[in-house]
Amino acid sequence: MASLPPGADSDQLLIEANGSTRTLILNRPKQLNALSSSMIMGLLRCFTAYEKDDGVKVLIMKGKGRAFCAGGDVAAVVRDINNDTWKYGADFFRNEFLLNYIIATYSKPQVSLLAGIVMGGGAGVSLHGRFRVATENTFFAMPETALGLFPDIGASYFLSRLPGFYGEYVALAGARLDGAEMHACGLATHFVQLNRLPLLEESLKKVDTSNPFALCGIIDQFSHQPSLKENSSLNRLEMINKCFSKRTVEEIIYALEQETSNSADEWVAATIQSLKKASPTSLKISLRSIREGRTQTIGECLRREYRMVCHVMRGDFSRDFFEGCRAILLDKDRNPKWMPPRLEQVHDAAVEQYFSRINDPQWEDLNLPARRSHGRNVESKL
């Protein structure tokens, strides 16, 4: 193992050095590599130090155990807020979003090996990078609306750039995608069989270049075009576009209900059920977030999402985030009591509030450094 940049936590984040390649290993397998505050700070130090180090050409990121990363450790965030103040949560998300921004604008190629679970914050430390390698056991979701949150970590940037209105579907319904679906819609750049991943990793450790075309050529040697399963949601893109293009969440659900009267498709019923189980407040702010993200840069998306997440943690209009974490992550009764409980009770003025500055003299907008964008692409293979 290589020595970490000063201050990085060596237990939860491991570093391997091979020539000009650095491999960053998320190391909380029992917690499915959920990102702790110390992991985020360690990654920030690594990315900052390696960008300045001419001896480092490529970064590989992977997870220990059966997950790449199941998200940010929001249960710990909730405990910190309950024990003290919402500003502990603000610090966590500020550092996480800064890390997402640095990854999205990074001058050196990052190859993320997405074996196993990739959710929430795990998507934030991988999908903004240059190369995202899915496998047959990759499991992706942004499940935040079921937690009383919203797809953050810059998700309003990459989800809004998926084909048609697929991003609205993934965000609102918390849809689960497999590796082939990630590859087909553009969230993953490559698909490599799990048993070939170690061979790819060994090849990447031998490179001595930051040239993305050269690296792409290496990954291409191990990758192939996977087939979508017959029941894939991407085979329903026409219906998704028809329903999820509607202006409001209420209209989206109504359009889906109209489809159930036309067919006995179990997928439609399951999607409606997912939407009706989610936090009404989360659904409404998530839809607006994705829609705004379509015309914004990654920096603008993260700044707006930081405002939103601070409002969520303050709980001025709704405390659904705390109730969702209680029901899903802490007590695990999976029966959250949302307030307000119905979509029609979440008025436009309340939604608007989530996109405004925080009324607190000690609060500041997310301050991101000036960095050159390196043009990350979300390219559909459909």
256-286 b/e (C-beta count within 10 Å ≥ 16 → b): beebeeeeeeebbeebbebbeebbbbbbbbb
Decide: 53 and 11 in contact? Cβ < 8 Å. Answer: no
Strand order in the sheet with 177-178: 67-69, 117-119, 139-141, 177-178
d(CA 201, CA 271) in angstroms, rounded, equals: 37
- Angstrom CA distances, 375 to 212, 215, 298, 321, stand at 12, 16, 10, 33
d(CA 176, CA 350) in angstroms, rounded, equals: 29
Decide: 148 and 325 in contact? Cβ < 8 Å. Answer: yes
d(CA 235, CA 283) in angstroms, rounded, equals: 24
- 3-state secondary structure string across 107-119: CCCEEEEECCEEE
Tell me which residues are annotated as active site. 72, 121, 144, 152
Q: In the chain, where does DSSP find H-type helix?
A: 37-52, 74-83, 86-104, 121-124, 155-158, 166-173, 179-185, 197-204, 212-222, 237-244, 249-262, 266-277, 280-293, 298-314, 320-325, 348-353
What end-to-end distance do the CA atoms of the chain give, in Å? 41
Write the single-letter amino acid at 180.
A
Decide: 186 and 382 in contact? Cβ < 8 Å. Answer: no
Beta-ladder partners of 61: 24, 112
57: which 2 tokens?
A: 């050409």
Widest Cα–Cα separation across the chain: 62
